[in-house]
Amino acid sequence: MVETKGEASGGPPFREDLLVTDTFLYLGTVEGKVQRLSRAMEDPRHPFLSMRDAARIDLETGEIVESPQFLVNLEHVVLAHEFVDLTGDEGWKRLSQEGTKVQAQAQTRGRFGFRVTAFLPRAALASPLLEEKPYFVFLRPEIACRPEPHEEAARRLEGLSYVIVRKAWVTSLFGLGPA
């Protein structure tokens, strides 16, 4: 999983956010977030997300490039995750309520096609909510990819409590049944 040691301990900086394009996986902290990462992804005034104290991992080779800052074009973000403590988070509680989810699978386009199988809030599939947000939030995802990404990148996609999937990258989405 992501490194959590702080700079004070001599380890790498805490990396709060994960962004995945069809070429790279980025770990860092998105600057300028007032609330959650999903809110920053909705803001049309900022086509780029600025990540500080970041690492970029090539999905194909596993090469890691560290940088004080990366600018990531939001149009190219396929998957995202924020490493935060969800205890007491009202939005998370609503998303996690039993009886309100369906198991679903989404397939994305791109050089690395991601297949996300997870639980999706039932309301996310209903109009007008289907058009309201530019992304889906999948709970307890299993993420597969063809071709398989380098192991350095693949291990970062395991065990996430949720993943944000940008709708613009989804080629198909279908329900697999009740949660």
End-to-end CA distance of the chain: 26
Cα 71 from Cα 92, distance rounded (Å): 28
What CA–CA distances, in Å, run from 141 to 73, 163, 164?
24, 7, 10
The tens digit of pLDDT for each residue in 123-153 reads: 777 766 567 788 988 999 999 999 999 998 9
The tens digit of pLDDT for each residue in 79-134 reads: 999 987 666 666 666 666 655 788 899 999 999 999 999 998 777 777 665 677 88
Residue 163 near residue 143, CB atoms below 8 Å: yes
Q: What is the CATH T-level fold of the domain 7-82, as seen in this structure?
A: SH3 type barrels. (2.30.30)
Q: Kindly report the pTM of this predicted structure.
A: 0.85
Q: Does position 166 have pLDDT exceeding 70, yes or no?
A: yes
State which CATH number among 2.30.30, 2.60.40, 3.30.450, 1.10.1760 fits the domain covering 90-178.
Answer: 2.30.30
Sequence-distant (≥ 6) Cβ neighbours of residue 145 within 8 angstroms? 59, 112, 113, 114, 115, 154, 157
Name the DSSP class of 46.
Answer: -
